[in-house]
């Protein structure tokens, strides 16, 4: 199995592979990018073509090989990553045994896939689905759209799905429960089942992840005056997480990449109606809360977001909350000012040309908020101006770019007929009242390493990346390195240099035990590009780092000696030992003073 994994990694260029997900820029012998796993302004994500590894030196503080990257970026388990990469490289896997967790995930995908086919068949081809078909066609959704998004119908029966999946396909009711398709209970007594179907007499929307796996469903009522909830969704399962999914992303991701823009709508019908009138770069956030995980996912396809949420207060609030999340990921944002209907579905159905025009004329985010505030309060009286300020000051205060913020201070001041200084003062007051959110504090990575560890890592990175491996096994280095994991790597390096004359990092990596792999990989991912260009500077930096490490060593030794001398003096012990320690203290102190002069 390990040979097959190595063969897969040998056939993949990690730089090319990761470049499919994030734009990499050459930085010396490595490549750099903004980390795709967290929001940041300065690139901290490093890829090493030499070692075929990656590492985030920012908030994530983790890394690995191509398998680890694929698992993290796609949120999949090892087995799925293995199957994908094996297929990509043409390597035949013969001995891998999926874990129980992997088997469970695959089982739920299978069950959901069959359930979607069952519902879809009933909608388009069975008399039982006639009512639902007439309803959705009456809403203006055409058959091509029903096929594209695989809409379906859940029959008006307590055990309709069970008869198909359990009776005909042989799946267990317990597994249907894990998929969220059935609910424990005895409402349907005739069959003796201990469960009843979650979705009954509803129009069904399969919910796919961006890879096409059906993770769950949304079921919509058919009668406008029904007492039941308008929508019922699959509950959270091991494969369905509402905050991760974007409806329509799987179907429309290529169009999003092509036009480099995505239209964000609220519901499934908003997305489908937009798609069928020609706006195919659309996804639905399913509710009003855009999450960080959803923005992270979208950022792989485009950096340009257009909010097209419902034209009400809730829609405005949703756009603002989403904008705050999206700004952290460096997204460019605009907003569609919805007219001619209450939501994108209604506008697209009534007047497709108007909907296309509104999308094309989407305004920059902050212009939209200013326009909305003036529509709500005219801004003519002092009280109206105060209310507009209450809405917009928190919005402008969140703008991190000073030039952009200054521009909108000017715009708002002009429209309110007040001085710019008044707006700036209110923003300053608002900011001073805010306290740092605990959420943001917890997201910051704390580096608990000592200065000694930082210097040791830097020294080893200089030696390994420059190819001057023999520098690292000199007596002075081995004396000054104190961190156990670095010492173990240096011991392995000594063994390597006894066996081999040539320098080969991959060959050395095979001698590194699993528990030291991450430590070893980091040594090749530290950004030393400006230094490595100049051989003389590499040597100078190496010696300077050694000097700093020796100073730390001497200070620690002097501290220990001082304690021992004080202990002996407190016991009024005079003699050879005390004199010996005092002389050593004097010599080490002189050496430290000498090193300090070299700075």
| Tokens of residue 330, six digits | 């460096």
- Give the pLDDT confidence score for residue 556 in this predicted structure: 87
393 touches 413 (CB < 8 A): no
Q: 434 to each of 327, 402, 427, 490, how far by Cα in Å? A: 19, 18, 11, 49
Question: What is the pLDDT tens value at each position of the chain, 599 positions in all?
Answer: 678 888 999 999 999 999 999 999 998 889 999 999 988 888 999 999 989 999 998 888 889 999 999 999 998 889 999 999 999 999 988 878 888 999 999 999 999 999 999 999 999 999 999 999 999 999 999 999 999 999 999 999 999 999 999 999 999 999 999 999 999 986 554 566 789 999 999 999 999 999 999 999 999 999 888 888 899 999 999 999 998 999 999 999 999 999 999 999 999 999 999 999 999 999 999 866 788 899 999 999 999 999 998 765 565 677 777 888 888 888 899 999 899 999 999 999 999 999 999 999 999 989 988 988 898 888 889 999 999 999 899 889 888 788 989 999 999 999 999 999 999 999 998 888 764 443 333 334 445 788 999 999 999 999 999 999 999 999 999 999 999 999 999 999 999 999 998 888 889 998 999 899 889 998 998 888 788 888 899 999 999 999 999 999 898 888 888 888 887 777 766 677 878 888 888 888 888 888 887 76
- Give the pLDDT confidence score for residue 315 in this predicted structure: 58
Whole-number Å distance between alpha carbons of 270 and 264: 9
Whole-number Å distance between alpha carbons of 443 and 38: 10
Q: What pTM did the predictor assign?
A: 0.77
- Give the pLDDT confidence score for residue 218 in this predicted structure: 96
Whole-number Å distance between alpha carbons of 16 and 417: 54
DSSP state of 236: P
φ and ψ at residue 467, rounded to 5 degrees: 85, 0
Dihedral Cα 401, 404, 405, 410, nearest 10 deg: 160
152 touches 116 (CB < 8 A): yes
DSSP string, 418-438: S-HHHHHHHHHHHHHH----H
Pairing of strands 214-220, 202-208: antiparallel
- Give the pLDDT confidence score for residue 93 in this predicted structure: 85
What's the length of the chain?
A: 599
Whole-number Å distance between alpha carbons of 4 and 9: 9
- Give the pLDDT confidence score for residue 410 in this predicted structure: 95
Whole-number Å distance between alpha carbons of 126 and 525: 60
Query: CB under 8 Å to 576, separation ≥6 — which residues?
Result: none
Q: Using alpha carbons, select from 211, 210, 205, 187 the residue that is nearest to residue 197.
A: 187
- Give the pLDDT confidence score for residue 398 in this predicted structure: 84
Query: CB under 8 Å to 348, separation ≥6 — which residues?
Result: 270, 273, 274, 276, 277, 279, 355
- Give the pLDDT confidence score for residue 438 in this predicted structure: 39
Q: How many helices (H) and strands (E) does the chain have?
A: 28, 16
């Amino acid at each position: 199995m390990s040979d097959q994994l190595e063969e897969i990694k040998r056939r993949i260029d990690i730089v090319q592979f990761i470049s499919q997900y994030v734009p990499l820029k050459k930085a010396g012998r490595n490549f750099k990018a903004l980390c795709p796993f967290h929001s940041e302004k300065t690139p901290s994500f490093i890829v090493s073509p030499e070692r075929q590894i990656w590492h985030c030196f920012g908030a994530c503080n983790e890394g690995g090989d191509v398998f680890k990257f694929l698992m993290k970026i796609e949120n999949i388990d090892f087995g799925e990553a293995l199957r994908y990469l094996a297929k990509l490289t043409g390597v035949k896997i013969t001995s891998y045994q999926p874990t129980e967790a992997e088997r469970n995930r695959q089982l739920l995908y299978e069950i959901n896939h069959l359930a979607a086919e069952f519902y879809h068949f009933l909608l388009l081809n069975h008399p039982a689905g006639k009512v639902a078909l007439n309803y959705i066609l009456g809403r203006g959704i055409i058959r091509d759209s029903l096929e594209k998004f695989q809409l379906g119908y859940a029959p008006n029966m307590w055990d309709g799905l069970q008869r198909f999946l359990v009776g005909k396909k042989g799946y267990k009711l317990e597994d249907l429960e894990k998929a969220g398709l059935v609910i424990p209970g005895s409402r349907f007594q005739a069959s003796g089942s201990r469960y009843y179907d979650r979705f009954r007499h509803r129009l069904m929307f399969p919910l796919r992840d961006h890879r096409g796996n059906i993770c769950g469903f949304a079921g919509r009522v058919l009668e406008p005056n029904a007492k039941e909830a308008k929508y019922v969704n699959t509950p959270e399962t091991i494969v369905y997480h509402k905050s991760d999914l974007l409806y329509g992303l799987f179907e429309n991701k290529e169009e999003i990449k092509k036009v480099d823009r995505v239209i964000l709508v609220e519901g499934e019908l908003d997305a489908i109606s937009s798609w069928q009138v020609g706006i195919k770069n659309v996804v639905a956030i399913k509710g009003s809360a855009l999450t960080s995980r959803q923005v992270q996912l979208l950022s792989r396809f485009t950096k340009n977001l257009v909010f097209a949420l419902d034209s009400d207060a809730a829609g405005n609030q949703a756009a603002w909350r989403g904008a705050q999340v999206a700004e952290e990921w460096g997204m460019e944002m605009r907003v569609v000012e919805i007219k001619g209907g209450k939501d994108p579905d209604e506008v697209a159905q009534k007047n497709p040309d108007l909907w296309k025009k509104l999308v094309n004329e989407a305004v920059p985010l902050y212009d939209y908020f200013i326009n909305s505030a003036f529509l709500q309060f005219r801004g003519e009286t002092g009280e109206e101006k105060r209310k507009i300020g209450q809405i917009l000051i928190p919005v402008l205060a969140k703008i991190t770019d000073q030039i952009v913020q200054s521009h909108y201070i000017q715009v708002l001041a002009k429209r309110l007929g007040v001085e710019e200084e008044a707006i700036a003062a209110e923003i300053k007051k608002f900011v001073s009242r805010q306290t740092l959110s605990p959420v943001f504090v917890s997201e910051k990575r704390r580096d608990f390493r000592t200065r000694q560890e930082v210097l040791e890592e830097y020294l080893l990175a200089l030696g390994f990346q420059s190819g001057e491996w023999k520098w690292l096994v000199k007596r002075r280095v081995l004396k000054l390195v104190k961190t156990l994991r670095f010492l173990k790597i240096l011991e392995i390096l000594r063994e390597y240099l006894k066996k081999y004359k040539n320098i080969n990092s991959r060959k050395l990596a095979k001698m590194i035990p699993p528990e030291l792999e991450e430590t070893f990989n980091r040594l090749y991912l530290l950004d030393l590009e400006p230094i490595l260009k100049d051989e003389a500077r590499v040597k100078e930096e190496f010696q300077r780092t050694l000097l700093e490490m020796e100073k730390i060593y001497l200070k620690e030794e002097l501290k220990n000696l001082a304690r021992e001398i004080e202990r002996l003096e407190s016991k009024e012990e005079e003699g050879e030992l005390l004199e010996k320690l005092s002389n050593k203290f004097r010599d080490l102190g002189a050496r430290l003073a000498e090193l300090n002069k070299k700075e």
